[in-house]
Amino acid sequence: MSDAGTKPRTKARPKVDRPRMHKVILVNDDYTPREFVVVVLKAVFGMGEDRAYAVMMTAHQRGACVVAVYAKDVAETKAGQGSDAGRAAGYPLLFTTEPEQ
């Protein structure tokens, strides 16, 4: 028989931190064509042409660019899809992930 709610709770319930969000980071390389990077950003991350071009150019000029922030499993899946698309086309295109904060 359940006594849910009838007994005082005697154990402490420590506040738990929310799971951290994870950044997806686009890493520059010397071989992947700019237009291919733009195509992948549009396909995998749902960006429009202008946003995708701006993110690609930031990675191109600065070495890397944060693409988006997601829950860990979503970030890892999307980073994998982007890197896989590059590999399938013979390019070293790389997306990595890292936790926020």
Residues of this chain that bind ligand TYC (CB under 6 A): 26-30, 32-34, 37, 56, 59-60, 93
80 phi-psi bin (left φ>0, alpha ψ -120 to 50, beta other): alpha
Residue with tokens 């070293």: 92
Q: Are 69 and 21 in contact (CB under 8 A)?
A: yes
Closest distance between ligand TYC and the C-beta of residue 81, in Å? 15
> Of the two residues 19 and 33, which places its CB atom closer to ligand TYC in the complex?
33
Q: Are 19 and 71 in contact (CB under 8 A)?
A: yes
> Of the two residues 4 and 88, which places its CB atom closer to ligand TYC in the complex?
88
> Of the two residues 12 and 88, which places its CB atom closer to ligand TYC in the complex?
88
Closest distance between ligand TYC and the C-beta of residue 57, in Å? 7
